[in-house]
Amino acid sequence: MCRICSAETLEKTRQEIRLRSDPSTPCIAVCAGAGCLASGAAEVIAAFEVELESRGLTAAITTRGTGCPGFCERGPIVVIHPQEICYLQVKPADVAEIVATTLVDKQLVERLLYVDPATGSKITREADIPFYKNQQRNILGANSRIDSKSLDDYLAIDGYAALAKALLQMSPDQVLEEIKRSNLRGRGGGGFPVWRKWAESRNAADPTRYVIVNADEGDPGAFMDRALIEGNPHSILEGLIIGAYAVGAHQGFIYVRQEYPLAVENVNLAIRQAEKSGLLGNDILGSGFDFRVQVHKGAGAFVCGESSALMTALEGRAGEPRPKYIHTAVKGVWDKPSVLNNVETWANVPLIIHQSADWFAQFGTAGCKGTKIFSLVGKITNTGLVEVPMGVSLRQIVEQIGGGIPAGKRFKAVQTGGPSGGCIPASQLDLKVDFDELTKAGSMMGSGGMIVMDEDTCMVDIARYFLNFLQDESCGKCTPCREGIRQMLKVLNDITTGKGHEGDIELLEDLAATTIGASLCALGKSAPNPVLSTLKYFRHEYEEHIKNKNCPAYACKSLLAFNIDADKCKACGTCRRSCPAAAISGAKQQVHVVDQQKCTRCGTCFSVCPSAFGAVQRLSGAAAASVSATMTLAPEETG
């Protein structure tokens, strides 16, 4: 007998859960997402349990391991409810003090609070921290409110209410119409209207249809989908069941990266819980609708983020894309109509059905409704996951939420859209972030990766880095992608190592155009974006590398040299002791000298030389070539 067999039993179960939970009871919520676990969150949770038991407080105070709240670099994060006191970078050794000071004596542990770098003031409440305060956390907000392994916690925040509404109060056509009114666009990168894909599959002649969650998140530095499926797996399941009902599917798949073990564990647990409770399987909530879900672990191929390649892998074959003469919504897995959306897209569906399309459409722009989650990483003060309404400016994300560039450096560019995205310069910081505006700027939304770069970043080298990644991840099936990327990378390698020639820029542009026009799938068609966008906004850097063998950002090692100014050297020995290659000679009272043949151009000497001396010189171009050509001299005695 299922636990929840009707809308009535669902609501009764929900009320019973809420009655068992007193909102005034202190609760210690510890982030148990993958990032915080890597920083020791499991040990922190265990320490709280031991401390509470030793004080006899287990009945009065509860603990909860939650999903990722987003402020990953400050983990492990502990939030004490109901006051919402937020402690950052908590260690097991801090636990006894937190319990004694905050939970017993009702005082704050000041040293664990967030310090606003702008004012120097300490902030107590999580919601008041600028990183969170400037977001609109419609989806991510639930992560920190529930135990990611608890169905009861999800039910307590109106979980599966949208499913009951869809199955018992709406027809499939009405569900489809509500998604259409919301103007939800796919969050996986293309921004295609969700309702169109669903309608195309629903109207397909073949009655056997599938719905699929794309959790094959392969962009470097991106972890939005991982955080959602780890932290709130039931929201993804609920969205998937609603989508299946709308298109007439009775089988679903969750394609998740095998490198996401916690996500695999949590979503499998959620499926078992839903099946046991009657929220998955036959006659869900007494509606007559049957649906089952299977988890498929991907083998780590970046190209399997592309729809046809993912579906080929689901069939048990090598994950390679295929021509889409007919959309996968009509002929997908096993040539059956298949709806594929990414994790974030499915997570929006319950919100739209439960809260209404009008509620969802209040956020965002005319053409792009709702919010978007970004993975904000790179040369930025605050790294982590941020959720903002469509249409906010890059400046708001970088400066207000991200806290600007650390160490007094200047902002140079931000790369959006993953390795196939484009680099947007400082002059475009006021650009509104949505699918259409980013595309116009020469980049794209992608799944939501956002990598910030400062003045020390070489844009030619950045293009080379991403092309190198894409070459490794190309499946090699079609010649334009396989050879186009390889040849562009060869040119970029030459330019960054001082072997560039006149005409290389034009050659890159020709190769890019051919690769875009002739590649089979989106990987090849978007791969030239890093090259074309950096050429558009930073062409002068390419010209400097080619004409003058000079890297203006001092990042390309082959074009660098480090030298010690004899007039400024105080023979302190800091650079010599820090050099990992033992390339610096000198002794007390002797000017230090860099052996250019041993030097690996790591820059350590430049970094550690006291700023008061400024003796180590970082050289590029002709000056570097001149120094590298000289023989290493014997150390001189200083005055």
Structure tokens at 453: 């770069």
Domain of residue 164, CATH code: 3.40.50.11540
pTM: 0.92
Number of domains in the chain: 5
Is the pLDDT at 66 greater than 90? The verdict is yes
Would you place residue 1 in the very low, low, confident or very high pLDDT band (cuts 50, 70, 90)? very low
Is the pLDDT at 639 greater than 50? The verdict is no
Residues 176-220 pLDDT 10s = 999 999 999 999 877 899 999 999 999 999 999 999 999 988 887
CA–CA dist 8, 383 (Å, integer): 44
Which of 53-67, 213-227, 594-608 comes out lowest in average pLDDT?
A: 213-227
Place of tokens 């709130």: 232
CA–CA dist 469, 492 (Å, integer): 13
> Looking at the structure, do residues 311 and 205 belong to the same domain, yes or no?
yes
Would you place residue 137 in the very low, low, confident or very high pLDDT band (cuts 50, 70, 90)? very high
> Looking at the structure, do residues 249 and 355 belong to the same domain, yes or no?
yes
Three-state DSSP state, 53: helix
Count of H-run helices and E-run strands, the chain: 25, 19
151 found inside a domain: no
pLDDT at residue 637, as a whole number: 52
Is the pLDDT at 271 greater than 80? The verdict is yes
Kindly list the distances between the CA atom of residue 470 and the CA atoms of 2, 75, 575, in Å, as whole numbers in the listed order.
Answer: 48, 31, 37
431 found inside a domain: yes
Q: Quote the percentage of the chain above a pLDDT of 70.
A: 98
- Average confidence (pLDDT) over 150-157: 96
> Looking at the structure, do residues 491 and 540 belong to the same domain, yes or no?
yes
Domain end among 523, 547, 571: 547
CB 240 within 8 A of CB 281: no
CA–CA dist 9, 423 (Å, integer): 52
> Looking at the structure, do residues 197 and 308 belong to the same domain, yes or no?
yes
Residue type, 450: M
Q: Quote the percentage of the chain above a pLDDT of 90.
A: 83
CB 222 within 8 A of CB 447: yes
Q: What is the 3-state secondary structure (H, E, C) of 586-610?
A: CCCCECCEECCCCCCCCCHHHHHCC
Is the pLDDT at 471 greater than 60? The verdict is yes
Domain of residue 468, CATH code: 1.20.1440.230
> Looking at the structure, do residues 73 and 92 belong to the same domain, yes or no?
yes
Is the pLDDT at 398 greater than 90? The verdict is yes
> Looking at the structure, do residues 449 and 465 belong to the same domain, yes or no?
no
> Looking at the structure, do residues 432 and 464 belong to the same domain, yes or no?
no
CA–CA dist 130, 118 (Å, integer): 10
Residues 399-445 pLDDT 10s = 999 999 998 999 999 999 888 889 999 999 999 999 999 988 888 88
Q: What is the DSSP letter of 266?
A: H
pLDDT at residue 13, as a whole number: 95
What residues pair up with 294 in beta bridges, in sequence order? 253
pLDDT at residue 175, as a whole number: 98
Domain end among 547, 570, 595: 547
152 found inside a domain: no
pLDDT at residue 607, as a whole number: 94
- Average confidence (pLDDT) over 337-352: 96
Would you place residue 594 in the very low, low, confident or very high pLDDT band (cuts 50, 70, 90)? very high
CA 405 from centroid of its chain's CA atoms: 19
Which helix (H) or strand (E) segment holds residue 241: the answer is helix 233-247
- Average confidence (pLDDT) over 105-129: 93
Is the pLDDT at 631 greater than 70? The verdict is no
pLDDT at residue 300, as a whole number: 75
pLDDT at residue 299, as a whole number: 81
Domain of residue 595, CATH code: 3.30.70.20
Domain of residue 435, CATH code: 3.10.20.600
CA–CA dist 485, 9 (Å, integer): 57
CB 146 within 8 A of CB 124: no
114 found inside a domain: yes
491 found inside a domain: yes
Pairwise pLDDT comparison (635 vs 451), residue with the higher score? 451
> Looking at the structure, do residues 176 and 322 belong to the same domain, yes or no?
yes
**Average pLDDT score over the chain:** 93
> Looking at the structure, do residues 217 and 281 belong to the same domain, yes or no?
yes
Residue type, 195: W
- Residue 358 has a CB neighbour count (10 Å cut-off) of 11
Structure tokens at 273: 């819980």
pLDDT at residue 3, as a whole number: 84
> Looking at the structure, do residues 450 and 467 belong to the same domain, yes or no?
no
pLDDT at residue 260, as a whole number: 92
pLDDT at residue 2, as a whole number: 66
CA 95 from centroid of its chain's CA atoms: 30
Domain end among 547, 579, 610: 547
Is the pLDDT at 47 greater than 80? The verdict is yes
Is the pLDDT at 163 greater than 90? The verdict is yes
- Listing DSSP states for 323-383 in one string gives --SS-TTTS-GGGS-EEEEEHHHHHHHHHHHHH-HHHHHTSB-SSSBSEEEEEEEES-SS-
Would you place residue 451 in the very low, low, confident or very high pLDDT band (cuts 50, 70, 90)? very high
Domain span at residue 614 reads: 559-629
309 found inside a domain: yes
pLDDT at residue 627, as a whole number: 87
> Looking at the structure, do residues 521 and 574 belong to the same domain, yes or no?
no
> Looking at the structure, do residues 538 and 475 belong to the same domain, yes or no?
yes
pLDDT at residue 635, as a whole number: 53
pLDDT at residue 444, as a whole number: 87
Residues 500-557 pLDDT 10s = 999 999 999 999 999 999 998 888 999 999 999 999 999 999 999 999 999 999 999 9
251 found inside a domain: yes
Question: Helix, strand, coil % (nearest 5) of the chain?
Answer: 45, 15, 40
166 found inside a domain: yes
pLDDT at residue 303, as a whole number: 86
Would you place residue 244 in the very low, low, confident or very high pLDDT band (cuts 50, 70, 90)? very high
CA 219 from centroid of its chain's CA atoms: 8
